[in-house]
Amino acid sequence: MEQLLSFIERNTIRFLTHRKALKAYEVANKPKRTFIGEVKGWADALVFAVFAVLLINQYIFQLFVIPTPSMDGTLNVGDRVFVSKTIYGIEVYPSGPKILSANRQVNRDDIITFYNPEYKSKGPFFDILSQIIYMGTFSLVNIDRNEDGSIAERLYVKRAIGMGLEHVRFNDGNIEIKRAGFSDYIDDQSFRTSLSLVDGPHRSIDANLYNGIKAWGSLFGYQEKGVDMNSVPSYLKSNYALVQNDNYPDDMYAFEMAKNRSKHLFDPSDSSARSASVSMKRGIYIPQGSVLPLGDNRDNSRDGRYFGPVSQKKINGSVRFLFWPLSRIRYMGNK
């Protein structure tokens, strides 16, 4: 026993002495700190941090700032949210193909993020640079702007309303859905109630204004056809008085629908107006593997009514958590 203790003591002393010697050597030969060396050190740390943030944003989660009122009531302008980038599969690179996406499909009523089908690219270099800056700063800096200075929406946040093989049409701004295998349409409110869906989607336009909105669209259509405004039906002028002080139609879809219908009725040979009128009346068919995204603020949203269904391959995330402002912090997984 005495020999064992002696052995342990000798080796412990040898180890501690060696460590002390190494430390003394390091102190004696410590390189001098220089300005260039410090800059290189900080640059290395910054590059690593940005690279790590980009990887996190691309493959795990992304911070997103709500830029418009299209989801007001559920997500307001300026709200900051966590977007899961794995829930529907993982993009290999931004807007690229997804992996691990089998059996990870969008469910009805999910709040999704997807690439804006109407986004106008400013060139591949700018697109990549703006995304690096936006993601690398955790959404604090966005250099991608429109000509008027507003933020260009490369990504949209909407709710998945229509699913594959369904038809969705719009009647005075109200949604009607025909499910796959059914022959009749059902109004959105009854449909949502029957499936116990959330009450986030809402209307804000007074239903009585639709006569004015449709009259405005009809008059605009006649004007485009060069019709003398003195010869148009008097009821259109009377109904237009309801909205004549507005700068912009409250429901552009209803406005366009009325405009194309009038142009087609006045000139049946106008194939473009005829096609648009019939298409809008029939509604939107959603192919298998796609969804129809709409804003919860139904009367102030640029959504699937205008650009159509979105392939699930283009849906890159789901809003899961609202973390700012603190007064509204909550989990979004239950919509």
pLDDT in tens, 64-120: 889 889 999 899 999 999 999 888 888 877 777 777 777 788 999 999 999 888 888
Q: Are residues 214 and 198 in the same domain?
A: no
Q: Which residues contact 303 (CB under 8 A, 6 or more apart)?
A: 70, 156, 158, 293, 294, 295
Residue with the larger pLDDT of the pair 75 and 148 = 75
Q: Are residues 174 and 262 in the same domain?
A: no
Count the domains in the chain.
3
Q: Does one domain contain both 158 and 299?
A: yes
Burial class from Cβ neighbours inside 10 Å (0-12, 13-18, 19+) for residue 271 reads: exposed
In a domain, 7, yes or no: yes
| Across 29-56, average pLDDT | 68
What does pLDDT average to over the chain?
Answer: 84
pLDDT at 89: 83
- In a shared domain, residues 78 and 227: no
Parent domain of 320: 60-119+154-203+286-331
Question: Is residue 212 located within the same domain as residue 323?
Answer: no
185 and 300 both lie in a single domain: yes
- Predicted pLDDT at 93: 74
Q: Is residue 138 part of a domain?
A: no
Residues 75 and 159 in one domain: yes
Burial of 86 by CB count in 10 Å (0-12 exposed, 13-18 middle, 19+ buried)? middle
Better-scored residue on pLDDT, 143 or 21 = 143
- How far, in Å, CA of 249 to CA of 270, rounded? 24
pLDDT band at 175 (very low <50, low <70, confident <90, very high): very high
Same domain, 107 and 183: yes
Is 163 inside any structural domain? yes
Are residues 73 and 159 both part of a single domain? yes
Same domain, 322 and 193: yes
In a domain, 145, yes or no: no
Query: Has residue 95 been placed in a domain?
Result: yes
Residue entry with tokens 């009531």:
73
If asked whether residues 310 and 188 sit together in one domain, one would say: yes
Q: Is 35 exposed, middle or buried (0-12, 13-18, 19+ CB in 10 A)?
A: exposed
Could you tell me whether strands 186-187 and 310-311 are parallel, antiparallel, or unpaired per DSSP bridges? unpaired
Where residue 334 falls among pLDDT bands split at 50, 70, 90?
A: low
The answer to whether residue 242 is domain-embedded is yes
The structure tokens 């300026």 sit at 78
Q: Cα–Cα distance between 282 and 121 in angstroms, integer?
A: 32
Look at residue 259 and tell me if it is in a domain.
yes
Q: Are residues 199 and 234 in the same domain?
A: no
Of 278, 299, 315, the last residue of a domain is: 278
pLDDT confidence band for 254 (50 / 70 / 90) = very high
In a domain? residue 238: yes
Closest by CA position to 107, among listed 162, 61, 185: 162
Q: What is the CATH number of the domain that holds 107?
A: 2.10.109.10
